[in-house]
Homo-oligomer: A and B are copies of this chain.
Amino acid sequence: MTTSSPASCTPSSETAAGVRIGIDVGGTKARAVALDAAGVVLAHSELPSGRGADEVLATVRTTIERLAAASPDPVESVGIGIPGTIDFDRGVVSHAVNLGIDELDLAAGIADLEVGRVSVDNDVNAAALGAFQLLGGGVSSLAYLNVGTGIAAGLVLGGELWHGFRGVSGEVGHLGGYGDLLCPCGQIGCLETIASGAGLARSTLGTTHPVISLTAAVAADDPIAIEILARVAGGVADAAETLFLVVGVDLVVLGGGVVHGTPQLAPAVGRILDERAAASPFLASLSLSERLTVAPVDLDIAAMGAAFL
């Protein structure tokens, strides 16, 4: 774990609101920030997430304790972004397969820490809110399209996180028409079977590190790798186009392990959107590729977003 405090802390005053902690519990690491009332970062934290409900809870508790100790004011709220199915009202996460969690009552598990309001949300939603705070200047809506193990988007509409019916929105990964592979969801040919880390692992280049091998093979002009990249980019372009045309967001922010691990991907998505616009005055009028951006890999958008949950 690393914690860092700025050289000079603003002294606490009676009018200052408290500190907000945001934690992004990823598949391997839990990254976190403590923000002051103005949104300035007071301290960072990074710990291995651990595996299973007990270890993940211990990680979250240690993160909060260390960030609270590094903060000059009392903690006013804790927001946690985590993969899985979230019960927003109760602060409970379930079916977080990558973390080995069946069910974990995060809100109850940290209640004794007295950290004010606790909010738990999906990690992609937290990243969408973070992207809106950090990258969304001048827009009122955006989608954060995460291409990681799966492919899904978090939506910020009119400045607010939009959850949709039973928390389901932005689920582009299960739109169909993409070949004949069986998706873990039970359908055939979901977008996720071709345009995701899991989809890449099933491709002809599949290894235990599919993104790294694709990147290297494309760089080496391997024709199969170039074809696979084009297929992934076409699927991501379809997802982005759906978010632009059907949800009508101002901006689509690309992120996730496959996007950051395959630097050729995002430019290829932009080129595909431009090719489609060249054929269609309707699409051209919407300037899709200009409204597509990549989340900077060094910005903790998910942890920052969690702090604003």
Contacts and interface: CB of A to CB of B under 8 A. Distances in A.
A186 B278 CA distance: 9
A17 B280 CA distance: 47
A187 B280 CA distance: 6
A282 B238 contact: no
A286 B168 contact: yes
Interface in A143-193: 153, 155, 157-158, 162-166, 168-172, 174-177, 185-188
A276 B187 contact: yes
B165 A248 contact: yes
Interface in A235-267: 238, 241-250
Contacts of A11: none
A248 B163 contact: yes
A171 B246 contact: yes
A180 to B, nearest CB: 14
B286 A248 contact: no
A245 B186 contact: no
Contact of A175 (B168, B187, B188, B241): B241
A77 interface: no
B283 A185 contact: yes
Interface residues of A, number: 42
A59 interface: no
A169 B279 contact: no
Contacts of A155: 248
B281 A185 contact: yes
Copies in the complex: 2
A196 interface: no
B186 A281 contact: yes
A291 interface: yes
Nearest to A285: B166
A188 B164 CA distance: 31
Interface string A131-142: 000000000010
B286 A175 contact: no
A242 B248 contact: no
B172 A245 contact: yes
Contact of A165 (B166, B244, B279): B244
Given A141-B165, A165-B250, A250-B165, A282 B245 contact: no
Given A153-B246, A246-B247, 8 more contacts: A162-B248, A163-B248, A174-B280, A177-B238, A185-B280, A187-B280, A187-B283, A243-B246
26 contacts: A153-B246, A155-B248, A157-B157, A158-B162, A164-B247, A165-B244, A165-B286, A166-B286, A168-B248, A168-B286, A169-B248, A170-B248, A172-B245, A175-B238, A175-B241, A175-B245, A176-B241, A177-B177, A185-B281, A186-B282, A186-B283, A187-B276, A187-B279, A187-B282, A188-B279, A247-B247
Interface of A: 141, 153, 155, 157-158, 162-166, 168-172, 174-177, 185-188, 238, 241-250, 276, 279-283, 286, 291
